[in-house]
Amino acid sequence: MLPLHDDSVERLTREIQLQQRHHGSALPSYFYQSPKVYRSELENLLLRSWIYAAHISELATAGDYQLLELGADSIILVRAANDQIHALVNSCRHRGARVCEAQQGNRKTFVCPYHGWVYDLDGSLRAARDMSMRPDFDASQLGLKTLSVCVFQGLIFVNADPECEPFAPALEALETTLGAYDLENAQIAHQQTYTVEANWKLCLENYLECYHCATSHRDYARMHTLKDLPAASKPVVDAMLARCESVTGVAGIGKEHYQVYNDASAFGACVSHQRYGLYEGYVTGSEDGQPVAPLMGHMRGYDGGAGDFQMGPVSFMLNYPDHCVLYRFLPLALDRTAMQVVWFVAGDAREGTDYSRDKLIWLWHNTTGEDEYIISRNSAGVHSLLFEPGPLQPEFESMLMAFHDWYLANLTGNPTE
């Protein structure tokens, strides 16, 4: 391997070509350590993809906003006076200062703290002191830059690519399977960001495979069939799929859909769903596998299954009949990642009466803590000068391979085979 100080475009191209000839193997250290790679990931992958940003309940009234951090970029999600949701780049169009610092709140305008330029909630420039002295000054062309926004069943997604394809047509495939949980009228019971000192791909790769589940997540593994190969879990899954519609009362809830990464209908518009089984004696993802909250949305019973969803390259949901868990993985720096986890319950559920927050989050809070540990060990290993990538397991790590194929093909912004 060439020393890392050789971080040129030419080396990036060579490394991609070399790795594509080793399909089905883990990525070498270069892809986790190179600043050139990291910049290319942001520009050519993440900022061109659809990413979960917030739930509609977090922007309930005009002026409500919250920030989304992605690499060095900050995005303001805000509900304007006309009830529209906007995604604004948090950078003044004068000399770039951030116009919003608090993570969330309610504002009538966004005012640059540096020179006082004032922006309306839709991002348009309202006032720029004394700039009328410039005859070429056109306030209508100097609003905050905007991102595309898609709101689907209460989930807000954004995309920074001005030429991106709409996300809604791809998401329509989830109308029934995701709609069963009525997320638009759900509430956030808890959310937490786990900051991991590791490259974002290590966090995402960990989520995309369950090869590690049996050894690293004992509590998860005793309940969920994903910890076994499909052939071994087939009888449990088939039995669940045979009863899922009659038990839940939702026609089509077991329907599979797969259009992710290179198979997505548009770049960065990954959409998938599968319903997989829980082992006998377990009906939800809790410490004892028993219900921890009222049934979600249109669900009428516990079928012993869970809905597994992907929406975009880095946003996922695991939905039980009584609660839903959303995961999102975003880089903050080359070796720093924000893993956000959001727990949803029915909109009319009352904490302390209908559910206990501690019991609700027990499984996935503990599982994420275990993930933090194994990802940190993975990070230490791939930073070793002596690390040599090995072969991936063809079934357990098939999604990981699909991600790698998409990643390598598009990393330079010039799609390759």
The pLDDT value recorded for residue 414 is 77
pLDDT value, residue 1: 42
Give 11-27 pLDDT, tens digit per residue.
999 999 999 999 999 99
Per-residue confidence (pLDDT) for residue 3, from 0 to 100: 52
Q: Please name which of 120, 123, 182, 179 lies closest in space to residue 149, comparing C-alpha atoms.
A: 123
What pLDDT digit, counting tens, does each position of 129-157 carry?
999 999 999 999 999 999 999 999 999 99
Asked if 327 and 207 touch (Cβ cutoff 8 Å), the reply is: yes
Q: What is the pLDDT of residues 197-238, one digit of tens each?
A: 999 999 999 999 999 999 999 999 999 999 999 999 999 999
Q: Report whether pLDDT(244) > 60.
A: yes
Which homologous superfamily does the CATH classification assign to the domain defined by 166-410? Naphthalene 1,2-dioxygenase Alpha Subunit; Chain A, domain 1 (3.90.380.10)
Fold exhibited by the domain 57-152: Rieske Iron-sulfur Protein (2.102.10)
- Judge whether residue 6 has pLDDT over 90: no
Q: Is the pLDDT of residue 417 over 60?
A: no
Distance CA 399, CA 394 (A): 9
Place of tokens 């009428």: 300
Band of pLDDT at residue 365, cut at 50, 70 and 90:
very high
- Cα-Cα end-to-end distance for the chain: 24
* Predicted TM-score of the model (pTM): 0.96
Q: Tokens 């960001």 appear where? A: 193
Question: At 191, is the pLDDT very low, low, confident or very high (cuts 50, 70, 90)?
Answer: very high
Task: Judge whether residue 74 has pLDDT over 70.
Answer: yes
Is 63:108 a contact under the CB 8 Å cutoff?
A: yes
Q: Is the pLDDT of residue 258 over 90?
A: yes
Fold match, 57-152 / 166-410? no
| pLDDT, position 2 | 45
Is 258 within 8 Å of 309 (Cβ atoms)? no
How far is residue 183's CA from residue 346's CA, in Å, rounded to a whole number? Answer: 8
Q: Report d(CA 25, CA 9) in Å as an integer.
A: 23
Q: Above 90 in pLDDT, residue 416?
A: no
Q: Is the pLDDT of residue 34 over 70?
A: yes
Mean pLDDT of the chain: 96
Residue 296 has pLDDT above 70, yes or no: yes
Q: Is residue 305 over pLDDT 60?
A: yes
**Domain residue spans in the chain?**
57-152, 166-410
Buried-exposed string 76-97: b where 16+ CB fall within 10 A, e elsewhere: bbbbbeeeebbbbbbbbbbeee
Average pLDDT over residues 274-284: 97
Look at residue 108 and tell me whether its pLDDT is greater than 50: yes
